[in-house]
Chain A
């Protein structure tokens, strides 16, 4: 069965620190990959997506993610986090129009 694993449940960083959130999936076929963010009290928003092409994907608010097919990974990165990045981050995978399967989520707390 298709599954998505996020390595860190809760990450605490100071402002200006670099961020990397891990995401691994299990599915042998062609996949589409997403990172969603949920700010406190708000709904899910799409941060970035990968369908094909350049495996390094740039999203909103300075986030980027790299698809490494050989490692079944799609890690999220940001060079310098801000307090406003405090949120919960979800990695998600679907097999081209199929169901979207989410990882467990990673709660990011950024200390000012």
Chain B
């Protein structure tokens, strides 16, 4: 089945540094990928929609200069947390929908394993 690979699975960084998280669709094409953030004991919050070849669409309240998204190919989207601070510590999850031939717009999302970011 369709697999989404997310890397790294966990990262610890110092305050002020930047961290890049990769999200790859391994056996399907995804013109659109989604980035979520999960706070402890809370729901997944959609941060932004990553669009291949164009700018990402950010949800209200998400700082686009803080969370840089690049979707350079049909199988790769990256999220860069710039100048990370302890409050950015969270669990980040990406997802992608198989949008290849024969797949409708409502095919289920496939999720990556998530990235646990800890900013010290």
Chain A interface residues (CB < 8 Å from chain B): 9, 32, 34, 36, 42-46, 49, 51, 90, 94, 96-97, 99-105, 107
B67 at interface (Cβ–Cβ under 8 A)? no
State the interface size on chain B (CB cutoff 8 A).
21
Instruction: Encode contact with A along B17-47: 1 for CB under 8 Å, 0 otherwise.
Output: 0000000000000000010100001111110
Which of B46, B108, B112, B113 interacts with A46 by CB under 8 Å? B108
**Complex Cα–Cα for A107 and B108 (A):** 22
A99 touching B46, Cβ below 8 Å? yes
Contacting pair B112 A96 (CB below 8 A): no
- Contact B111 A44, beta carbon cutoff 8 Å: yes
Known: A99-B34, A99-B46. A32 touches B111 (CB 8 A): no
**A-B pairs with beta carbons under 8 Å apart, 14 shown:** A9-B41, A42-B113, A43-B111, A43-B112, A43-B113, A44-B44, A44-B93, A51-B106, A90-B44, A97-B97, A97-B104, A97-B105, A100-B34, A104-B42
Contact with A along B82-120 (1 / 0, CB 8 A): 000000000001010100000011101101111000000
For A49, the chain B residues whose CB sits under 8 A away are: 108
* CB-based contact B114/A32 at 8 Å: no
In the complex, the answer to whether B43 meets A102 with C-beta atoms within 8 Å is: yes
B46 touching A101 by the CB < 8 A rule? yes
Task: Give complex CA distance A34, B97 in Å.
Answer: 14
Which residues in B have their C-beta under 8 angstroms from that of A101? 46
Since A44-B111, A100-B95 are in contact, a sample of 5 more A-B pairs with Cβ atoms closer than 8 Å, ordered by chain A residue number, is A34-B108, A43-B111, A46-B108, A97-B97, A103-B43
Are A100 and B106 in contact, with the CB atoms below 8 A?
Answer: no
Residues of A within 8 A of B105 (CB): 96-97
Beta-carbon nearest neighbor of A96 in chain B: B106
B49 part of interface (Cβ distance < 8 Å): yes
B residues in contact with A44, CB < 8 Å: 44, 93, 95, 111
Residue among A49, A101, A102 with the most chain B CB within 10 A? Answer: A102
Residues of A within 8 A of B111 (CB): 36, 43-45
